[in-house]
Amino acid sequence: MRIDVVSIFPEYLAALDLSLIGKARRENVLDLNVHDLRDYTHDRHRTVDDTPYGGGAGMVMKPEPWAAALGRIAVESPVDKTGGNKPILIVPSPAGAVFTQEMAYELAEAPHLAFACGRYEGIDERVIEFAAESFDVRPVSIGDYVLNGGEVAVLAMVEAIGRLIPGVVGNPESLVEESHSDGLLEYPVYTKPASWEGHEVPEVLLSGNHGKIARFRRTKQLERTAVRRPDLIVQLDASKLNRHDRDALWHSGFAIVDGKVVAKEPVDPA
Ligand code: 6GU
């Protein structure tokens, strides 16, 4: 997969040299290129921002450097444009659609992703229109809070997407069992010693009974998801819940009514 990131703080992206993503880059599984937006300016001050039309606080990113940077990335794209295929341009923004594990799985299949990191009050909206001629443009947020720029969001998204590319995560089984892969949070994990500072590893995990262990873990997933993320519980497909699951959910405050999982007491929305 090819990934391009455009930023006025390319040093922010240095963390992508580390750990599994860094290893994937060195092994050419991931062709990740970070571009300094200021390299696409032509004035002595390497200006990337200007005052907003219509007034208001702060500065807006000028369109010309973005057009030059994105134009270059589009031209270099490995995507076969016959048949209307385009590389994907993710524009990190608190005003975007929320990034999810499902989106990470979809994006991990793409041959070419680009990320346009805005700073200040944002990028001139006409850049989005211009980019749509060469890219499938997706404004994306990583959650309901505000960052100063897109760089930290790109670190999160590239890590979430990159680890799903075959050959990036050492053990593909760790992708199957993790939080969100089945709509539930991960079960708790333990290692030696079995007794530590008066805290014990749950007895069943020492039993060697694999059926009982699987049941224990599934129950823990349901219990902690019910407490921490009741919004995920009510999205479960009730037809995929067995008798044990339904029992665990009942004890965590949920019932199955008309084939739907519902809270016995009202749930706080998301
Ligand atoms: Cl993707 N960008 C910025 N600047 N702030 C955010 C965000 C993205 N996601 C949540 N807050």
Give the phi and the psi of residue 130 in degrees, each rounded to 5: -60, -45
Residue 92 Cα: closest atom of ligand 1: 1
Q: Is ligand 1 within 6 A of the CB of residue 143?
A: yes
Q: Cα of 189 to ligand 1 centre, how many Å? A: 31
Q: Is ligand 1 within 6 A of the CB of residue 157?
A: no
Q: Residue range 71-98: average pLDDT?
A: 96
Q: How far is CA 175 from CA 44, 111, 189, in A?
A: 48, 20, 15
Whether residue 141 has pLDDT greater than 70:
yes
Token pair belonging to 165: 């590319």
Name the band, by pLDDT with cuts 50, 70 and 90, for residue 189. Answer: very high
Q: Cα of 254 to ligand 1 centre, how many Å? A: 33
**Shortest-distance Cα residue to atom 8 of ligand 1:** 93
- Whole-angstrom Cα distance, residue 173 to residue 184? 16
138 and 29 in contact (C-beta within 8 Å)?
no
pLDDT at 175: 79
153 and 43 in contact (C-beta within 8 Å)?
no
Q: Residue range 157-164: average pLDDT?
A: 96
pLDDT tens across 23-68, in order? 999 999 999 999 999 999 999 999 999 999 999 999 999 999 999 9
pLDDT at 265: 87
Q: Is ligand 1 within 6 A of the CB of residue 150?
A: yes
Q: How far is CA 78 from the centre of its chain?
A: 23
| Dihedral sign of CA atoms 92, 98, 89, 52 in order | negative
Q: How far is CA 54 from CA 49, 58, 103, 120, 252, in A?
A: 15, 12, 35, 16, 53
Residue type, 170: G
Give the phi and the psi of residue 24 in degrees, each rounded to 5: -60, -35
DSSP output for 76-113:
H--S--TTS---EEEEEEEEEEEP-HHHHHHHTT-SEE
Q: Is ligand 1 within 6 A of the CB of residue 57?
A: no
Q: Which of 8, 61, 121, 141 to mutate to test the pocket of ligand 1 (most atoms within 8 A of CB)?
A: 141
**Shortest-distance Cα residue to atom 2 of ligand 1:** 93
Q: Residue range 201-230: average pLDDT?
A: 98
Q: Is ligand 1 within 6 A of the CB of residue 153?
A: yes
pLDDT at 98: 98
Give me the residue label for tokens 């590319």. Answer: 165
| Dihedral sign of CA atoms 119, 122, 126, 130 in order | positive
Whether residue 182 has pLDDT greater than 90:
no
Q: Cα of 136 to ligand 1 centre, how many Å? A: 19
Q: For residues 54, 127, 164 and 101, what is the CA-based torsion angle, rounded to 10 degrees?
A: 30
Q: Residue range 185-207: average pLDDT?
A: 98
Q: For residues 208, 211, 212 and 214, what is the CA-based torsion angle, rounded to 10 degrees?
A: 100
Instruction: Single out the residue of 91, 140, 114 nearest to residue 31, CA to CA.
Output: 114
Q: Is ligand 1 within 6 A of the CB of residue 142?
A: yes
Cβ neighbours of residue 58 closer than 8 Å, sequence gap 6 or more: 52, 120, 121
